[in-house]
Amino acid sequence: MAKDLLVAGIGEALWDIFPDGAKLGGAPANFAYHVSRFGIPSVAVSALGEDELGDRTEVELGKKMDIFMERVPYPTGTVQVSLDGNGVPRYEIKEGVAWDNIPSTPRLIEMASKCDAVCFGSLAQRNAVSRETILAFLDAMPSDAMQIFDINLRQHFYTKEVVETSLEKCNILKINDEELKEVGLMFDIDYLPDAEKCRRLRSYFNLSTLILTCGTDGSYVYGDGVESFLPTPEVDVVDTVGAGDSFSGAFCAGILKGLPIVKAHELAVRVSAYVCTKAGAMPEMPADIAKGIL
Neighbour order of strands in the sheet with 77-83: 21-25, 14-18, 77-83, 89-93
pLDDT exceeds 70 at position 294: no
User: Domain extents for the chain?
Assistant: 2-290
pLDDT-derived band at 293 (thresholds 50, 70, 90) equals low
Q: What is the pLDDT of residue 245?
A: 92
pLDDT-derived band at 3 (thresholds 50, 70, 90) equals very low
Sign (positive or negative) of CA dihedral 11, 5, 229, 207: positive
Name residues whose C-beta falls within 8 Å of residue 254's C-beta, 6 or more positions apart in sequence. 38, 263, 264, 267, 268, 293
pLDDT exceeds 80 at position 90: no
pLDDT-derived band at 19 (thresholds 50, 70, 90) equals confident
Superfamily the domain 2-290 falls into: Ribokinase (3.40.1190.20)
Cα–Cα dist 114/264, whole Å: 23
pLDDT-derived band at 22 (thresholds 50, 70, 90) equals confident
195-233 residue pLDDT tens: 999 999 999 999 999 999 998 899 999 999 999 999 998
Name residues whose C-beta falls within 8 Å of residue 287's C-beta, 6 or more positions apart in sequence. none
Q: What is the pLDDT of residue 16?
A: 79
pLDDT exceeds 60 at position 180: yes
Report yes or no: 78 and 14 within 8 Å, Cβ to Cβ.
yes
Backbone angles phi, psi at 206, to 5 degrees: 55, 45
pLDDT-derived band at 42 (thresholds 50, 70, 90) equals very high
Cα–Cα dist 156/146, whole Å: 28
pLDDT exceeds 80 at position 280: no
CA distances from 108 to 7, 103, 141, 179 (A): 13, 9, 11, 30
pLDDT exceeds 70 at position 116: yes
Q: What kind and span of H or E run contains 219? A: strand 219-223
**pTM value?**
0.92
